[in-house]
Amino acid sequence: MWITQLRSPFESITYLQQSLERRTYKLQKRIYQASSRGDVKAIRRLQKTLMNSWSAKCIAVRRVTQDNNGKNTAGVVAIAILPLQPRYR
């Protein structure tokens, strides 16, 4: 049996979020390393890659819709952060 078959849907969603964050973090780290080297061409290229990456877009949407605690929070009215299971019903 594959390990992915043993996971519940909520565990696989959490795993997906972690992998997206890991990919985005690695790209941001590469941008920082290029800036410390002073490699402007690499910085621009990596920034463009980050702006167009699907992982970064998913993280941005999640932060706007779930993690904001501001007055005009997008998402469910009067509930800023939903637990994992009610969010995916």
User: Cα(45)–Cα(88) distance, rounded to whole angstroms?
Assistant: 36
Domain segments of the chain: what residues? 18-60
Provide the residue count of the chain.
89
pLDDT for res 1 = 42
pLDDT for res 51 = 94
pLDDT for res 27 = 96
pLDDT for res 12 = 65
10-residue averages of pLDDT along the chain (89 residues): 55 79 95 96 96 92 73 55 62
pTM score, whole prediction: 0.63
pLDDT for res 61 = 85
Burial 14-44 (b: 16+ CB within 10 A, else e): eeeeeebeebbeebeebbeebeeeeeeeebe
